[in-house]
Amino acid sequence: MKQIIEDIRRLLKDGTFKDEQHVRFSLVGRICQALGWNIWNPAEFYTEYNVKKYPPQEINSDLRGRVDVALILSEKRNDLAEVFIEVKTPGKLQSELAAGETQLQKYNFWDKSAISVLTDGIVWRFYLPSIGGSFDGTLFNEINMLKDDPTAIATVFERILKRENFRKKALQTAEDMHEELRKINLLDNVKTEAEQIATKTGMSAYLIAKQLLLTKHKEDFEITEIETLWHKSVPGAEENGDSGSAITHDNYDLDHDYRFKKLKRAYVIDQWYPVTAWWQLKKTLYLNLQSKLIGLTIGKGAGISQDKTIYANPITLADGYYCEGHGSSSSILGHCRTVLKALNMDYKSSIRIEIQTQTEES
């Protein structure tokens, strides 16, 4: 995926994509194919997809619309679209943003997609219509193919649009990203002031930001969360901050001793996730395996329950289930190992872990 993104970036810089049709097939189609969608099957990569467009009070308007691309799980043998993708000419998204969002909002009035996308090939904006409210408020991620790190872009595409993630896993990812974007935006509101006060006083900008968030927005962030989000602009993706260069990590499995080590990211089951706390690793694994964990007898620490009161620090999973989030890296990794062994899964290949180097920690 990263190589495809780098090639598309080169073509965009060369001005190869001239219009919406170029973007729809040669760019959007190429990315969708890499993510597992059969673009040669019109029942799956459905162009000019017919939808009812307007709410009933607008009956004086054209009641039909055509989505540029609808992604459909063809094996289900129905016309329920998982994704709506509305395409614009390269460089035109900003000037047509409001109109594009209005289009997608109307397309989702009757025929709701799990995820909607608005793109001109350069900028990609991802929406979660099920949240409700103003459509622009359903935005949960935005990437720029010319500016953002290719690895971050690849991670976002794979987590949001990978075919095998639909629909439950993709929706959970989108909800998590929506919350992370909310926190990034809140932090951006106080970051400049925090840095200015830090320069004058010599205090930690992170600590000042924590106090400003609590005072101005009634939001109580953990310091570690502020550190993680400080240089982040793309939710759900690992970014290199201000360095502009790739970072080398140590890569281990669950048998390694992680005492006094800081987590950077983790490979869980089939892909890498930008988790930076040990409890986040456990949550990611459990969400991937939750249907198999229900009813599994493996003890309170490693198990899941719908009774959150039995846990010292409950982690919220899906469908009203919880698991224990309290514990050291060793105990949490022990829970992960217990779960994988109980399910007869090879824990050494199911989870790989990258820790922060001393350079990153400093």
- pLDDT of the residue at 252: 56
Rounded average pLDDT over 89-99: 92
Is residue 120 predicted with pLDDT exceeding 80? yes
Burial class (CB in 10 A: 0-12, 13-18, 19+), 152: buried
Q: How confident is the model at residue 361 (pLDDT cuts 50, 70, 90)?
A: very low
Nearest CA to 265 out of 255, 252, 256, 245 is that of 252
- Cis peptide bond prior to 167, omega within 30° of 0: yes
First-residue to last-residue Cα distance in the chain: 31
Lowest-pLDDT choice from 126-135, 160-169, 276-285, 349-358 = 349-358
User: Burial, 99: exposed, middle or buried (Cβ in 10 Å; 0-12, 13-18, 19+)?
Assistant: exposed
- Residue 161 banded pLDDT, cuts 50, 70, 90: very high
pLDDT of residue 249: 39
Q: Distance (Å, rounded) from C-alpha 183 to C-alpha 161?
A: 23
Say yes or no to pLDDT of 251 above 60.
no
Give the global pTM: 0.65
Residue 217 has pLDDT above 60, yes or no: yes
Q: Which residues contact 240 (CB under 8 A, 6 or more apart)?
A: 149, 246, 247
Q: How much is the mean pLDDT over the chain?
A: 86
**Mean pLDDT throughout 209-217?**
94
Per-residue pLDDT tens digits for 282-314: 999 999 999 999 988 898 899 999 999 999 889
Across residues 142-155, what is the average pLDDT?
A: 91
At residue 157 the predicted structure's pLDDT band, cuts being 50, 70 and 90, is: very high
Residue 242: the pLDDT is: 35
Residue 127: what pLDDT?
A: 96
pLDDT of the residue at 244: 32
